[in-house]
Amino acid sequence: MISNCKSDFCIPAPKDYPFSMAVFSFCINMNSDAYAVYLASKISNKSTKKYRKPYQLNRYFYQLAGLELDMEVVKWGDRLLLNVEFGLFHLNMAEKKRLKLYALAQDLLFEGQYEHGQFPQAFFEEEKANQQKEIEMLMSNPIEWHFQLFMEKMFPNDPFRYSLLGTKEQVRDCTNEEIGKIQKDFIQHSQRIPVLYGTFSEAETAYFQELANQGKGLSENPGIQVSRKPFVTYEEETTYQQTWVFLGYRHPIDQNHRLYPALHIYNQILGKLPASVLYTRLREKSGLCYSIGSSLPFGKEVLFIIAGIAYQDKDIFLEELEKALLSLSNFTKKQQYLKLAKNRILSNLQGWKDYPMARLNFELEIKIKKASYTYSSYIQAIEKVTWEDLEEISRCLWLDTLYICKGNHKAR
């Protein structure tokens, strides 16, 4: 019998909602093997013992029409995750068919190394070459590549800086055996967290529970102690047209800090709202950039500001940026913007009814970070944020790293 499930990892869906979704996450602390986990997941996704060619696997998957399966390795702050995402569109969908999808996911995850205990060599070589190309392409993308370089400057001793792709050398030198071993270790030592949304049978919930029980608990991440110091500036010449400015700010507000909900409101007002302070002052009023925004990476006590500018405007841009940050304390539209940011966050939270994958990710975040809030207490906390909270955040932010990637602007 399929019904709204009652397990503590289940979120009930509204009546008659035709989708159910599940995320099964494998999670460890971020480390330098991330590239190998990424590579292994790509190879595993290509075949199983039964469906040895990708097109055969895809045809089988098309026959399970109405079911979606996605596997992705992601970096969430200082955590490395392999998320297996199931989309179950259950108009006339038999439970038997859903179980086939879980079995397929399990085969992909655990049976990837079916050729003499290793990944099929051809797929290994193919994906290794693929990842090397991905690295080369990353290096030709101005924002992404320089963001990576900026991360290395700002977090020189912190695993947070590692990219999922790794370095060209790491990928070039790895062997099938090493990647296989790293994948096995990853699966064995990771914490396993299921989150379900919608309607599931008892057999299905039991299946997820059993799989989760086989995982390990996640060890505490010791983190890196950082002290407040004057910021460091780096500037690099590039062949790009545009100049990019990356600013890394630190703060002490983790997910269990009382100001955590306020931090998200602060970020909205500063650089996320379509008419944010940064957008309004630096783009619309001063015409200094096209792209500008701020972001809060999950699970790390930092705030980034990234903007694309003309190099000749660099000094005035930085001056205006500082004014914009300071302007928050004597802002004339305090209550209006506070209401605006709250409304936006609350609207997004309500909108998850139509897009449950976002809700699932939120639950996953709570479980991984052992956060003290829940979906409903977070909503209440957002409603209670005051302007004074934002000013407090403003005072405890400090600029740590300024990284400028200088363009040549030849086309201007």
Partner 1 sequence: MKFPFTIEKEVIHDLPVTWIFTKQFVTNSILITVNAGSLYESNEFLPDAKSGIFHFLEHQVFRLLSGKDAMELLNMYASNANALTAREKTCYYTHFVQHDIEILKILLQLVFEKKRFTKERVEKEKKIILNEMLMSMDDPLFATFESWNKLVYQHYPAWRSPIGTPESIRQITPEKLNQAFELFYHPKQSELVIMTDKEKSFWLPAFDTLLQMEIKPGFQPKILSIPHDPDTKSGKAFTKLTIDFPIPYFMAGWKPLHQEFTYRDGIIGEMISQILFGITAKFQDDLYAKSLVDDSFSLDWDWDRQFGCWYMSGFSYQPEKVIDAVEKEMRRRLKTGIRKNEFQIHKRYSLVNSTMEAYHPKEMVFQIQTLNRFGMDGWDEYYQLVQSITWEELNENLPRFMPESQFKASILLPESDSA
Nearer to partner 1, 125 or 319 (CB): 125
Nearer to partner 1, 130 or 221 (CB): 130
For residue 129, the Cα-to-chain-centroid distance in whole angstroms is 25
Residues 247-286 that bind partner 1 (CB under 8 A): 273-275, 280, 283-284
Closest by CA position to 91, among listed 16, 9, 195: 16
Evaluate whether 382 touches 342 at the Cβ level (below 8 Å): yes
Taking each continuous run of H as one helix and of E as one strand, the counts in the chain are 15, 12
Can you list the alpha helix ranges (DSSP code H) found in 194-237? 202-213
Choice from 1, 8, 96, 140 touching partner 1 (CB under 8 A): 140
Residues 49-108 that bind partner 1 (CB under 8 A): 53-55, 58-59, 62-63, 65-66, 89, 91
Sort strands 2-4 and 199-201 into parallel, antiparallel or unpaired: antiparallel
Residues 32-51 that bind partner 1 (CB under 8 A): 42
Q: Residues 54, 104, 359, CA angle at the centre, nearest 5°?
A: 110
Nearer to partner 1, 163 or 191 (CB): 163
d(CA 272, CA 337): 12
230 makes contact with partner 1 (CB under 8 A): no
167 makes contact with partner 1 (CB under 8 A): no
Interaction mask 117-136, partner 1, x per CB under 8 A? -----x--xx--xx--xx-x
Closest by CA position to 75, among listed 128, 105, 31: 31
Nearer to partner 1, 63 or 209 (CB): 63
Closest by CA position to 226, among listed 404, 390, 29, 398: 398
Q: Which residue has tokens 């990771």?
A: 190
Contacting residues toward partner 1, per CB under 8 A: 18-19, 42, 53-55, 58-59, 62-63, 65-66, 89, 91, 122, 125-126, 129-130, 133-134, 136-137, 139-142, 239-242, 273-275, 280, 283-284, 287-291, 308-310, 336, 340, 343-344, 346-347, 350-351, 353-355, 407, 409, 411-412
